[in-house]
Amino acid sequence: MLRAAGRREPQPAQGIRRAGLSDKDGQLSVASPSLRRVGNLNMAQPSGPAAGIPAPRSTGPGETGPAATVAIESGLGGTGLGGTGPVETGPGETAPGDTAAAETSASLSLSLSPSRAGDFLTCPLLYRFRVIDRLPEPPSSAAARGTLVHAVLERLFDEPAASRTPETARAMLAPQWERLIADEPELAGLFSDDGERNAWLAEASDMVDRYFTLEDPTRLEPKHREHAVAAVLESGLLLRGYIDRLDVRADGEIRIVDYKTGTAPREEFEARALFQMKFYAVVLWLTQQRVPKLLQLMYLGNGEIVRYAPDESDLRATVRKIDALWRAIERARSTGDWRPRPSRLCAWCAHQAICPAFGGTPPPLPESARRPEVAPPADATVPTGT
Ligand code: SF4
């Protein structure tokens, strides 16, 4: 099922819509979606040329590859470059490990992840609290649920294809929760009693069940799960992040898949989520010299899929947007002007007590906050002939 952005249709078990991110060069605002018709990239295995999409477009004579001087890291593993864990960008869904406190100081001055970019777009002061001050944030049940569901869906693909059933996935919830508690014992304090915890687990179970209404994992063999990726722009900015799932078809076509445990945003807000996906698409484009065929957001809160097919102009515009965003961050860093930007998302912010928008006073800026601490990783860049 494919439906046009701008129109909402009743959502049966599987809802798919397409959307876009309109973009103005150098502007930081995320505008209303542009429209592009997309198809479903069939990643069922085995796959081949008959899967219903055109052959990949190769770069011809006189054309350039990725606009930026790029780099070249992919599959960094769990600790490479101080990256964060799986992220959720919806209100209250930041994963427990997805705070600046989880990033190393060496990674902060010249690197950007989609979640931190989203923080700055949401509120520069929130970015400061997370990246500059590195203030701790208490765990939340919504974030923990997101981490748990991500863990189950990641490990589901460890099972033989025929065993990837709702029953198998549901049976993974309790042991994965125990594993998460072992890693982060403070999560155990999220619930006051077993009843509260069981109700929370039931919600996670509903999300896992909903996943199976959106696709059939017995027909998929992901290339990567929880895949660490990074690339360096010509500006020296290191882009990094973790992709929930990467599907690569036999002809090399790439689909980036991201699981969201919230509900799909209203269409006027979905550009923000697509920005995260385009960020990942830029990294893969730069490292693999191929524009990903499809970006797929799977909203397990309401059983809806948003799909978007980017092209090179999209990704060039995203590079310009990221560079402009980084310049704004650097400007705030050099001036110390990290303004609060109150919005409905303040309801989920852990720092209201020290936010001027709520009558609070931020702590003094750390001494090191106004200058970069590390040099760009020059040896990680290579020219592309652009
Ligand atoms: S409470 Fe709102 S305005 Fe203040 S730091 Fe948090 S997100 Fe920004």
- Ligand 1 binding site (Cβ under 6 Å of any ligand atom): 123, 125-126, 340-342, 345-346, 349, 351-352, 355, 357-358
Name which residue leads in pLDDT, 369 or 344. Answer: 344
Q: How many Å apart are CA 265 and CA 255, to the nearest integer?
A: 21
Task: Tell whether the model's pLDDT for residue 261 goes beyond 90.
Answer: yes
Highest mean pLDDT, choosing among 18-22, 106-110, 246-250, 378-382: 246-250
User: Helix crossing, 312-335 with 270-288: angle to 10°?
Assistant: 110
Ligand 1: residue whose CA is nearest its atom 4: 355
Q: Ligand 1, closest atom to CA 340?
A: 3
Q: How many Å apart are CA 204 and CA 200, to the nearest integer?
A: 6
Query: What local confidence, expressed as pLDDT, does residue 110 receive?
Result: 83
Is residue 102 a contact partner of residue 242, using CB atoms and an 8 Å limit? Answer: no
* pLDDT-above-90 percentage for the chain: 62
Confidence band for 273, pLDDT divided at 50, 70 and 90: confident
Model pTM above 0.85: no
Name the nearest CA neighbour of 276 among 225, 325, 342: 325
CA of residue 204 to ligand 1 center, whole Å: 28
Q: How many Å apart are CA 158 and CA 155, to the nearest integer?
A: 5
Dump pLDDT digits (tens) for 228-250: 999 999 989 999 999 999 999 99
CA of residue 123 to ligand 1 center, whole Å: 6
Substitution candidate for ligand 1 out of 126, 127, 358 with most atoms within 8 A of CB: 126
Dump pLDDT digits (tens) for 140-154: 999 999 999 999 999
Query: What local confidence, expressed as pLDDT, does residue 271 receive?
Result: 85
Ligand 1: residue whose CA is nearest its atom 2: 346
